[in-house]
Structure 1
């Protein structure tokens, strides 16, 4: 049996965001939860574990999400930032078809049923 090398990582805030994305994606992707805030040691751990991978940041459109995004822009500048529409505010509250469109724009394979 051959192990699949996971080459993409999506960083989200919470478990509900992770579950929402897992239901939409159609390829092996590691999803890391920060649980809203992130310590320096956890940030270093993420940076080390994502070395040589495609990293995407998908956080809420609120104050804590913006703070987290700013921190990742500084510490992980090669990461690609994905944005949900501000009217949804939270990744977990955004419609699956909207999230699927956002992920697809980053060349992430999504279940076709969410592209209707």
Structure 2
């Protein structure tokens, strides 16, 4: 699922990426920031994945680190769409599959229908 696509989801970690991949049925590039994103690393991602010319979605945890990262990405990628997980679960990786699917399908992603029950 990591070859060239027009949609990019930026997450914090590999477990977030794995959980989202379970739900999706379309090819989407999922990039991990590993919780932090320095200027050099961001510039590398921007260039490597041509983020200025892609549909970029941000899905990070609802904890202090995730909120800080979301603010940074909002400044750097003002056209990105933001997807949110419930503060009840706080983390993308611990959000139930049906809730991830609902958040993704609302923004036009193709998801496995078993997660929409």
TM bucket, shorter chain: over 0.9
* 1:47/1:76 contact within 8 Å kept: no
What is the TM-score normalised by the length of structure 2?
Answer: 0.93
Alignment of 1:12-51 (within 5 A): 12-48=11-47, 49=49, 50-51=51-52
Alignment of 1:1-116 (within 5 A): 5-48=4-47, 49=49, 50-116=51-117
- How many angstroms apart in 2 are the aligned matches of 1:15 and 1:46? 16
Aligned length: 113
Is there any run of 5+ residues in structure 1 with no aligned partner, and where? Answer: none
CA distance 1:16–1:5, change in 2 (3 Å): closer
Is there any run of 5+ residues in structure 2 with no aligned partner, and where? Answer: none
Structure in which a larger fraction of residues adopt helix:
2
**Aligned Cα RMSD in Å?**
1.1
Give the ranges of 4+ consecutive aligned residues of structure 1 lying more than 4 Å apart after TM superposition: none
- 1:46 Cα deviation (Å)? 2.1
- How many angstroms apart in 2 are the aligned matches of 1:67 and 1:27? 29
